[in-house]
Chain A
Amino acid sequence: MSDHTDVWQGTLALMILKTLETMGPQHGYGIARRIEQTSGHQLRVHYGTLYASLLKLEQEGAIVADWGVSDNNRRAKFYKLTRAGRARVGKASREWQQATAIIERFFAPRSTT
């Protein structure tokens, strides 16, 4: 367990949105699993933070929730991206890539002069 890293503050919302974008409507459990899988089990999701985060996104109008039935016939609350949410993912991933690209240059091995 000690090699697990907690999800960084502020990035969870983006991960949730990205997950919903790639996988379509998903319940809390599924989102958590997916984030852990995608990170190669290096990240551990706090469920309290997860549900609070989902609620925040819902309040902001990025996602909507609806009750449905899961693959193995369990009643579960499914979250779905809204149009605003989709736009936000697009914008955020562009910004993210830009930011990481900049950071990368600082850490990249110096090219020969």
Chain B
Amino acid sequence: MRHLRAFLRRVLSVFGRTAQLDAELESELESHVHMLMDEHLRAGMEPDEARRQALLTLGGLESIKETYRDRRGLPILETTLQDVRYALRRLYRTRGAAGVGIMVMALAIGANTAVFSVVYAVLLNPLPYPKQERIVTLTYEVSSGGETERSTQVSVPDVLDWQQQSRSFAALAYYATRRSSVVAGRAADYTVVARVTPAFFDVFTAELSAGRSVTSDESREGGSGAVIVSDRYARQHFGGERQAIGQTIRLLDQSMPIVGIWPAAYAFPADTDIWFPQDVLGGPLRQHRRANNYLAMARVRDDVSLERAQTEMRAIADRLARQYPETNRNLRVLVTPLQQQLVGHVAPLLRMLLGAVLLVLLVACATMATLLLAQSTARVQEMAVRTALGAGRTRLVRQLLVEAAVQGLTAGALGVIIAVWATRALVAVSPPNVPRLDDVAVNGPVLLFTIGLCLLVSVVFGLPPALQAARRDIHDRLRAGTGRVAGTGSARLREWLVVAEIALAVVLAVTCVQLVRSLIQLQQTALGFRTSNVMLMQATAGASVSDWQRSRQFFKGLLEDVRQMPGVDAAGVMMGPPGRVESDSGYWIDRMPEQSPLTSARPAVMNVISPGAFAALSIPIYDGRDFTDGDTADAPRVVIVNQALAAAAFQGRPALGRVIVAGFDSLDPMRIVGVVGDARQYGPGREPQPEVYMPYQQHDYNGATLNVIVRSAMDSQALGAALTRKARERSPEASVRVSTMDDVLGGYLAAPRFRAWLLSLFAVVAVCLAMAGVYGVMAYIVGLRAREIGVRMALGASGRGVLWMMLTRGVWLSAKGLAVGGVGALAAARTIRVLLADVAPNDPAAYVGVIASFAVLSLLAVYVPARRATRIDPILVLRQD
């Protein structure tokens, strides 16, 4: 305690008013001298003699003060501060060169901080629930043909069995979210509704911010029903949380009171506004073990480890597989922490960004170290003089490290400013599927990361030059200043740094080129349908869900209205337009087999459309006809398939007239009346899948919700407003959501575009840095060998010979860097394979292109200083000694 206190006071006194304290000591000692004098005077001495004796007794005044001062402050802190002051002065003096270095580092540190702040918020920051690490998702792991794949959607019977047989969980719930039409007051809106089992709230140990939870009377099957809403929804629709409690909303034909509020900051899944708890979920298909329509999650009991929960679930899955081999044979169950499950899909992207930005940092460090090394060689004499004056080796190393740290922290401070800006930019341009972006900020942990990074970087780029400077013995160093010794050791170190810079930049550039090529390929992929000038209006008829004939009348009427609007070229209705697939199921040729129908079904996308939808999307009809208004519920069942399905099902034989059965809302046989072109339903990154198109007047799925597709050259805003107006005229209670087809498809390109852009930025920075490094080192070598070159030229070497000598030296350097970088890029390609769409990870064009342009660039970087070498005037150089 008392040592701590003394230590703190010493630290404080370093920053205190030392001048005043010195004066105080001075007068204290002065009074001491006077008292001694008084004593001597009393003994009868002369005043002069008395003073002399007094000073003698006291001993050296200066040494007393020195001892005193050392005790007052902390010598190590003081000398460090001295180093800092010296470093700042030096920095100011060499602000041109130092400024370049600091800006380089600031950019690298800023980029790192920005990327880390995103990584922290998205991947590392724990979810805001009590004991969040115990919240897990339960998903299938489907194995087929030796490969396993995670499948998040599970079936109700399986979940109920898990619930019954497991002992590891404090709560186990299942749920499904969907954008549904919800009527609050008079207006209807699309709202994200989560239908959950009551245990859902126990999984999160959710605390409602107002109201109460839903009672068992309300949640039981056939009960009155009640919902929890988010605070955001309460504010938007009712003006506040309190006001919302007790209000009624209408959802799927059912009117229910709002009984509680869940704060949106804690709400799960994100963006949900209404939670509708029901004891039994699943509708008509809930007996079906392969109707995988729900997500399951659970809270692991406090006294059970995640491993034990996983072991138990594995055993249960094995049991179910034996019990129901037809449906469950290839299924296992994975217990995954929620956080991991949430961010799993963006983790590779973020890890790649972090890797790339760290490479940039490494290149920046190497550049900085090259610059410092060049400086330190120029300072050989200064260091030698300091050593001669008695500065120890550690003292010199410390001083140089402090200088590096001062530069590093200055760069860090600038970097944070850049990061605050860059973080905002990063969030603004990041793809829409990255969760938790609202939390991204330059905060405490991020700042800690940056400061740590700065200090680490300072050591990394400061240590080599520092050790170098302190190594050579004093004679060598004093002599070196005269230019006779070209420090071979430091030259080799510098050359290795340049090789490393080039190699790292090559890795980044090759990776970047591959990503960009992959992006271009995605953008150029023929989608099979038109996206420009196509608008999409999702609409839910205000009519009751069960009355699907009336909702079809609504769309039929709306379509007639829209077709009459001026400027509309084509219009149609579709359940799941490309990019927004609604149903993914299977079909059989001719009839559904009685034996194992599930395993014999061939996969296909299911769609329900109106006449004119193909025209609106410019999907060509290759064979047969489009649907007509005559394809009604009373007419024979007809169907249109795409070429992919025709090829898969009939292998080149005509498809027209054949009969198929779709595992959809009805199992009626349907006759094929048309074959249309393939459209990529899941965006440019995936091949077109087989698809079944059924007429909208013969199928009631998906109730009252369909999409109106309109092709028109009109301005999208005006068109959107006009479409909304038409829909509301037909039905005031209709919910509508308007978007352009470009926007819908844009979502598929957002992530590739994001990473390609960012990586290009990083790669450009890295290449510039590396070239600056090459240039710097060559310029330095030329300067160092000026004398030698002068002598050579004096002895008759030609300018071309000297140029050749310098060029080969530089080219050899960059060749080494290119070779190392090429190998590094191969390794990097393996890690980013997942992110590349069609480009083979080892796209030779990328390697050849990058290495060739690097060769040209580094030749330029070498040429300029080499050319300067040929202009060295031998007389001038020789005279310098």
List A residues at the B interface (Cβ < 8 Å). Answer: 27-29, 46-49, 51-52, 55-56, 59-62, 70, 72, 74-77, 84
Contacts and interface: CB of A to CB of B under 8 A. Distances in A.
B28 interface: yes
A48 B6 contact: no
Q: Which residue of A70, A77, A84 has the most chain B CB atoms within 10 A of its CB atom? A: A77
A55 B71 contact: yes
Contact of B71 (A56, A72, A77): A56
A46 B64 CA distance: 9
A29 B35 CA distance: 7
Nearest to B33: A29
A62 B68 CA distance: 17
Interface in B232-271: none
B68 A77 contact: no
B5 A59 contact: yes
Contacts of B3: 60
Given A47-B58, A52-B67, A77 B6 contact: no
Nearest to B13: A59
B2 interface: yes
B63 interface: yes
A112 B71 CA distance: 52
Given A75-B31, A77-B31, A47 B71 contact: no
Contact of B59 (A29, A46, A76): A46
A74 B35 contact: yes
Interface residues of B, number: 28
A74 B5 contact: no
B5 A60 contact: yes
B64 A47 contact: yes
21 contacts: A27-B35, A28-B28, A47-B64, A48-B59, A48-B67, A51-B64, A52-B71, A56-B71, A59-B9, A60-B2, A60-B6, A61-B5, A61-B6, A62-B2, A70-B31, A72-B38, A74-B35, A75-B31, A76-B31, A76-B35, A77-B24
A61 B67 CA distance: 20
B2 A55 contact: no
A9 to B, nearest CB: 13
A56 B5 CA distance: 11
Interface string B66-82: 11101110000000000
B91 to A, nearest CB: 34
A95 to B, nearest CB: 16
B34 interface: yes
A47 B27 CA distance: 15
A48 B60 CA distance: 9
A51 B68 contact: yes
Contact of A77 (B10, B28, B58, B59): B28
Nearest to B28: A77
Contacts of B59: 46-48
A27 B38 contact: no
Interface string B1-42: 011011001100000000000001101110110111010000
Interface in B542-573: none
A10 to B, nearest CB: 15
Given A70-B35, A72-B38, A55 B72 contact: yes
Contacts, number: 67
A51 B67 contact: yes
Contacts of A62: 2
A29 B37 CA distance: 11
Nearest to A51: B68
B24 to A, nearest CB: 8
Nearest to B67: A48
B750 to A, nearest CB: 62
A10 B190 CA distance: 82
Secondary structure of the A contact surface, majority rule:
helix
Nearest to B38: A72
A59 B2 CA distance: 8
B31 A48 contact: no
B10 A59 contact: yes
A100 to B, nearest CB: 24
Given A29-B32, A51-B25, A59-B5, 16 more contacts: A27-B31, A28-B28, A47-B58, A47-B64, A48-B63, A48-B66, A51-B29, A52-B67, A52-B71, A56-B6, A61-B5, A70-B31, A72-B38, A74-B35, A76-B31, A77-B24
Contacts of A77: 24, 28, 31
A102 B67 CA distance: 35
A103 B66 CA distance: 37
Given A55-B71, A56-B6, A75 B27 contact: yes
A47 B29 CA distance: 9
A74 B29 CA distance: 12
Contacts of B6: 56, 59-61
B35 A55 contact: no
A7 to B, nearest CB: 14
B266 to A, nearest CB: 49
Contact of A74 (B9, B31, B66): B31
B68 A48 contact: yes
Contacts of B58: 47
Contacts of A29: 31-32, 35-36
A61 B10 CA distance: 12
A87 B335 CA distance: 63
A77 B24 CA distance: 9
A51 B10 CA distance: 15
Given A29-B35, A59-B10, A72-B38, A51 B2 contact: no
A55 B10 CA distance: 10
B28 A49 contact: no
Contacts of B2: 60-62, 84
A75 B30 CA distance: 10
Contacts of B63: 48
A77 B36 CA distance: 15
A81 to B, nearest CB: 14
B837 to A, nearest CB: 68
A29 B791 CA distance: 73
A52 to B, nearest CB: 4
Contacts of B66: 48
A47 B67 CA distance: 10
Nearest to A76: B31
Contacts of A55: 68, 71-72
A84 B1 CA distance: 12
Contact of B67 (A28, A49, A72, A84): A49
Nearest to B3: A60
Interface string B666-705: 0000000000000000000000000000000000000000
A52 B59 CA distance: 14
A83 to B, nearest CB: 13
Given A46-B59, A47-B59, A28 B5 contact: no
Contact of B28 (A46, A51, A56, A72): A51
B68 A76 contact: no
Interface in B305-342: none
A48 B72 CA distance: 13
A74 B34 contact: yes
A65 B228 CA distance: 69
A51 B591 CA distance: 107
A67 to B, nearest CB: 9
A52 B68 CA distance: 5
A51 B58 CA distance: 11
A72 B58 CA distance: 20
B10 to A, nearest CB: 6
B20 to A, nearest CB: 13
A20 to B, nearest CB: 16
Contacts of B70: 52
Nearest to B64: A48
Contact of A76 (B5, B28, B60): B28
Contacts of B34: 74
Q: Which of B5, B32, B38, B64 has the most CB of A within 10 A?
A: B32
Contacts of B10: 59
Nearest to B7: A59
Top 3 nearest A-B pairs by Cβ distance?
A48-B64, A59-B6, A48-B67
A59 B28 CA distance: 17
